[in-house]
A = this chain, B = another copy of it.
Amino acid sequence: MYPYVLLVLFVLLLAEISIKNLATAKEQNSNDIHLEAPHLSDRTESNRPPIKPSTNVPQKKIKQKISNTKNKINPCKGTYVRTNGTTCGLKEIMIGRCYEYQFVKYPSATNQHNIKNCTALYETFESAVRYKSHCNMNMSTYKDYFDLALAGVHVINRAMFWSGTYAVTHAYSGSGLNYITLEDTLAAAMVNGLVWCGNENHTEGFDFNSCPNNCKDNRWADLAFWGLASKTFAQLAAGEIFVILNGSQLHGRSAFRNNSYFSDFELPNFRRHGEYRVTKINALVLHSPDEKVMERCGEKSLRLLEDLITNNGFEYACKDDPEELILIMCGNQWEARECQIARRVLRQAWDTKLYGTSNSNQKSLSLLMIFYFFLIKIVVFNNKV
């Protein structure tokens, strides 16, 4: 044991000097290619309207940064003006995405038995919203649309839910290759990222100038689409499912919170009985690089979540920061302090791969790396004993 203890002491001596070196370290072999850091979008949310508490909180005024002319001229025709109303080309985009979903993205899942008529699907959607006043919507407005889009879908395995972690979750789920998020289902894929609202007075039946999503007397109107979408998706999830939460939420938000789609529309709708019931809920809690850890598994709102889940008879597991997801976060924020060491280690590994065994200097470096892990093990082992 003694040599290890001595080594650790030696390390402590060197650390003081070394920390400074590390902090100011520049790339050793400075190559004159400047690369942009890759970055995902900063989205932690999709463009679903936020769920507001049902009490009448004074509403924030909609920002008028972008044009919001009330002249009822269609800003998609003639001279285009950017607005916060219905997306120009809503119909064409939805129909195009429907074809693409069936014949390009998932052609092998598409066969003569479950092929959907994209025009009919769009028309079902349209008839729910066109010429209708947005604030009259409710949770059954889009029922026919979801029924049609989901006809033939009886169960969704590897379902993945998210709250406050939009970009990372979707980078990880790999467009349905690894896991299925709501946005990987036809009904949601057709409108994801789009904006729309009906208008009974406009000649086109849609309001292209402004979609406030802000109905004083009917909170359900705003939830009509994404609330039902979330509910329907949750009802189809089966087996072991995943939810990716944000343990670094700012502004006093918690990782699991009421008035989130996950708490209000998904968790209450998981199947509890039968062959296709949800058996286990895995929470994955992410802590962004360079941001504070606000909650960890088993703490604060995550304890509430655990109780809620186990009381409902589901098995529960929670993991802070799985490596797979740390990597995606670091891939996105190379500059973050916590990601620097991995960056150096990878550089090292690739230099060994590139100049490998022929270069004895590189060889001893990788032996040092092995030595380093060996030391970690000893320390961990000593601690356990």
Partner-B contacts on A (CB < 8 A): 3, 8, 10-12, 14-15, 17-19, 21-22, 28, 31-33, 35-41, 76, 79-82, 87-89, 92-100, 102-104, 107-108, 110-112, 115, 118, 158, 171-172, 174, 177-179, 193-194, 282, 284, 287, 293, 296, 317, 319-324, 326-328, 330-331, 334, 338-339, 341-350, 353-354, 356, 361, 364-365, 367-377, 379-380, 383
Given contacts A8-B364, A324-B331, could you give 7 more A-B pairs where the C-beta distance is less than 8 Å? A21-B377, A38-B178, A40-B174, A327-B331, A331-B331, A348-B376, A368-B376
On whether the beta carbons of A35 and B93 are closer than 8 Å, the reply is no
A96 to B339, CA, bound (A): 39
Residues in B whose Cβ lies below 8 Å from that of A330: 327, 346
A331 to B174, CA, bound (A): 12
On whether the beta carbons of B112 and A328 are closer than 8 Å, the reply is no
Residues in B whose Cβ lies below 8 Å from that of A296: 354
A302 to B172, CA, bound (A): 34
On whether the beta carbons of B15 and A371 are closer than 8 Å, the reply is yes
Residues in B whose Cβ lies below 8 Å from that of A94: 96
Q: How far is the CB of A175 from chain B (nearest CB, A)?
A: 9
A96 to B96, CA, bound (A): 5
On whether the beta carbons of A374 and B14 are closer than 8 Å, the reply is yes
Q: Choose among B40, B80, B379, B380 the residue that contacts A112 (Cβ–Cβ < 8 A).
A: B80
On whether the beta carbons of B38 and A112 are closer than 8 Å, the reply is no
Q: Choose among B35, B76, B174, B293 the residue that contacts A322 (Cβ–Cβ < 8 A).
A: B35
Q: Choose among B22, B33, B178, B326 the residue that contacts A370 (Cβ–Cβ < 8 A).
A: B22
On whether the beta carbons of B80 and A370 are closer than 8 Å, the reply is no
Instruction: Look across to chain B and name the residue whose beta carbon is closest to the beta carbon of A344.
Output: B373
Q: Choose among B18, B40, B111 the residue that contacts A373 (Cβ–Cβ < 8 A).
A: B18
A11 to B367, CA, bound (A): 7
Residues in B whose Cβ lies below 8 Å from that of A39: 174, 177-178
A372 to B364, CA, bound (A): 12
A79 to B112, CA, bound (A): 5
A345 to B367, CA, bound (A): 16
On whether the beta carbons of A93 and B99 are closer than 8 Å, the reply is yes
On whether the beta carbons of A28 and B380 are closer than 8 Å, the reply is yes
Can you name 9 A-B residue pairings with CB atoms under 8 Å?
A33-B322, A37-B324, A96-B97, A287-B354, A321-B354, A327-B342, A361-B379, A368-B375, A369-B372
Given A12-B367, A36-B178, are A22 and B373 also a contact pair (CB < 8 Å)?
Answer: yes
On whether the beta carbons of B324 and A18 are closer than 8 Å, the reply is no
On whether the beta carbons of B334 and A347 are closer than 8 Å, the reply is no
Instruction: Look across to chain B and name the residue whose beta carbon is closest to the beta carbon of A13.
Output: B371
Nearest 5 Cβ contacts at the A-B interface: A96-B96, A89-B99, A79-B112, A18-B374, A11-B371
On whether the beta carbons of B367 and A379 are closer than 8 Å, the reply is no
A348 to B178, CA, bound (A): 25
Residues in B whose Cβ lies below 8 Å from that of A319: 31, 33
Q: Choose among B87, B328, B353 the residue that contacts A38 (Cβ–Cβ < 8 A).
A: B328
Instruction: Look across to chain B and name the residue whose beta carbon is closest to the beta carbon of A347.
Output: B323
Instruction: Look across to chain B and name the residue whose beta carbon is closest to the beta carbon of A194.
Output: B104
Residues in B whose Cβ lies below 8 Å from that of A22: 370, 373-374
Residues in B whose Cβ lies below 8 Å from that of A287: 350, 353-354
A15 to B371, CA, bound (A): 6
On whether the beta carbons of A88 and B92 are closer than 8 Å, the reply is no
On whether the beta carbons of B88 and A354 are closer than 8 Å, the reply is no
A361 to B41, CA, bound (A): 36
